[in-house]
Chains A and B, each alone.
With several copies, the nearest count.
Chain A
Amino acid sequence: MTPLNRNQMAWRVAHDIPDGSYVNLGVGMPLAVVNFMPDDRDIVFHSENGLLGMRDLKPGEEPDSELVNAGKRPVRMLPGGAFFHHADSFLMIRGGHLDFAVLGAYEVAENGDLANWRLLDSKSAPAVGGAMDLVYGAKKVLVICEHNSKDGSPKIVKEAKLPLTGRECVSKIFTDHAVIERTGDGMVVREMIEGLTFDELQDRTGAKLRLANDWKPLITPDLPVEERPSRKKQVGEI
């Protein structure tokens, strides 16, 4: 059993987003999703700092300090893109105009509660950004996160203990182990990585899961994660 790496998780999320969608990617792991969109889909990426139709720079492309995404990293614009100010940008988010938000998580509860902005033991200042806007604004909230924390504790829990970002807002969770959908009838496992049994998955999960009758193996291409020069992790990168 080999859990997915970050790129494979991003790839899996990318392949869940249908052609023609308007999508916001949260800072951190979600930002990688843009790199794995299937070529045959027109997806319009929204960045809360006022961009629609952005993409990551191509290798070797010159960065422009005036053209950055919500993670403050340089991007480029596709033909058909548009710039707008923050009030209009959050009108889009809060008014239900985005099809998907992809967010990281510290905890997702069985009822869909999400906590992803503040740890309890943190002595330093909190930082919420646009997460609380996105959780209620986007039509569907997709979460991308490791199935378990480094200490092995589950991120999908019975009840969230951390300060919430939003209540009952998560639609689907993409982890390195599984794809799990929140339904009217609880958390349903749609896909699991090969070599993992449902009981093993349940053991690693705080919330009660149910295996879909038509569940599938969670298979992605090999997508090695490049070593990047280490840098101080930004708050909000989950």
Chain B
Amino acid sequence: MIDKRRQTADEAVADIKDGSTVLIGGFGMTGEPRELCSALAARKVRGLTIVTNNAGSGEFGIGLLMKQGCVDKIVCSFPRVPGSVVFEELYEAGKLELEMVPQGTIAERVRAGAAGVPAFFTRTSWGTPLAEGKEVRTFDGKEYVMERAIRGDVALVKAYKGDRWGNLVYAKSMRNFNPVMAMGADLTIAQVSEIVELGELDPEHVITPGIFVNRVVQLEALNA
């Protein structure tokens, strides 16, 4: 029987290793898998590379992971948001490596890693400092930058509902990076507001099919 349910966030993240590359869904606080991040932070893992869009607000979730010294490097597009105090402090003290990647390039690199594509070309960042050191190639008279895939050891995502096969649906704009990150790692862990019976999610409406998801844990209710 396939049963990907886990009882607690602690149990769900118990075996994540030091030095892992961890993809984290969410866009600002919307769709951030905060409880999974906090459970991981509580384990005081070390040497993580995290791939996510923003660098956390306050001292919870992604912010707590950084605060606890778990993170060596962050790959993101927009680290600073109101309240990204932990990031700013660590970055300015030189204690955190930052790889700045355009938002769409993060999404496409993670998707490429999920799709067996080791590298692709994109116009984005051509002629800018973010293309420095990258291969540039001309197709049909236009220059493009070669980008490499990102593959996670782990993905932490947040969804609205899930089932024991790992199927997920989201609510409104919490979808954002979550389905992308969910595809992109060897071990994908989802926190959901509600675990429903198998068959309750309409197969037409499933956004993340369970094949991408290894563990599902039910946490707080949506908007609770």
Binding site for B on A (CB under 8 A): 19-20, 22, 42, 44, 46-53, 64-69, 72, 77, 79-87, 89-98, 118, 123-133, 136-137, 163-167, 231-232, 234-236
Contacts and interface: CB of A to CB of B under 8 A. Distances in A.
Contacts of A72: 27-30, 81
Contacts of B165: 44, 53, 80
Interface stretch (B7-15, B33-41, B58-66, B95-103): B95-103
B127 A83 contact: no
The 4 closest A-B pairs by CB, nearest first: A79-B199, A90-B104, A133-B104, A94-B116
Contacts of A132: 102, 104-105, 124-125, 128, 130
B80 interface: yes
A53 B201 CA distance: 13
A109 to B, nearest CB: 12
Interface of B: 1-2, 27-31, 53, 77-82, 87-88, 91-92, 98, 100-108, 110-111, 113-117, 122-130, 163-165, 167, 170-180, 183, 197-199, 201, 203-204, 206-207, 209-212, 222-223
A85 B177 contact: yes
A83 B126 contact: no
A124 B92 contact: yes
Count chain A CB atoms within 10 A of each CB in B53, B103, B201 and give the residue with the most. Answer: B103
A48 B103 contact: yes
A134 B126 CA distance: 12
Contacts of A67: 172-173
Contact of A94 (B28, B104, B211): B104
B188 to A, nearest CB: 10
B81 to A, nearest CB: 7
Given A80-B165, A80-B210, A125-B79, A163 B116 contact: no
Contact of B180 (A83, A87, A130): A87
Nearest to A75: B173
B87 A125 contact: yes
21 contacts: A66-B172, A66-B223, A67-B172, A77-B203, A79-B197, A80-B210, A83-B173, A86-B103, A86-B106, A90-B103, A90-B107, A92-B211, A97-B212, A98-B211, A124-B88, A125-B98, A127-B79, A128-B77, A129-B103, A132-B104, A167-B126
